[in-house]
């Protein structure tokens, strides 16, 4: 699966978002090393801390299915009908993704299926704290 296909999947996933409070819809498409695609969208709650981001939705689906190694994630976010800017993962999503992101992991941020940027993981979370930091 190429970057454009991942971007298109993330853009399409935005339509599934449940965001009645912020109105900001986010979609994510997470690609495993085995080429399985996991889709996520943001799901808001009136109790704001219970809200879940699209990236974490996709990651939790994948991990709950036994996946542990990933190649890339694409993220797209904006208010419906708006031409938004590139939407990057929040700090909580970056930290959770860091558990599973190898050095070659890529983050694709998309405005549309054809307008996207590709970043290496180290650009997204430089100096991240992860499992290697806890090894004795």
- CB-CB contact of 70 with 46 (8 Å): no
What is the CB neighbour count within 10 angstroms for residue 124? 20
Q: Which of 33, 35, 44, 55 is catalytic?
A: 55
- Any catalytic annotation for residue 67? no
Alpha carbon distance 119, 106 (integer Å): 6
Alpha carbon distance 67, 15 (integer Å): 25
Q: Which residues are known to be catalytic?
A: 55
């Amino acid at each position: 699966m190429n970057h454009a296909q991942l971007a298109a999947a993330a853009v399409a996933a935005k339509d599934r978002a449940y965001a009645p409070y912020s109105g900001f819809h986010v979609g994510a498409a997470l690609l495993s090393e085995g080429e399985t695609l996991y889709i996520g969208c943001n799901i808001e709650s009136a109790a704001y801390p219970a809200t879940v981001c699209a990236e974490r939705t996709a990651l939790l689906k994948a991990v709950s299915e036994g996946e542990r190694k990933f190649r890339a994630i694409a993220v797209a976010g904006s208010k419906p009908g708006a031409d938004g800017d590139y939407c990057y993962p929040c700090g909580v999503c970056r930290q959770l993704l860091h558990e599973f992101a190898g050095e070659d992991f890529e983050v694709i941020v998309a405005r549309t299926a054809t307008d996207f940027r590709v970043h290496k993981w180290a650009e997204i979370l430089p100096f991240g704290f992860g499992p290697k930091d806890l090894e004795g």
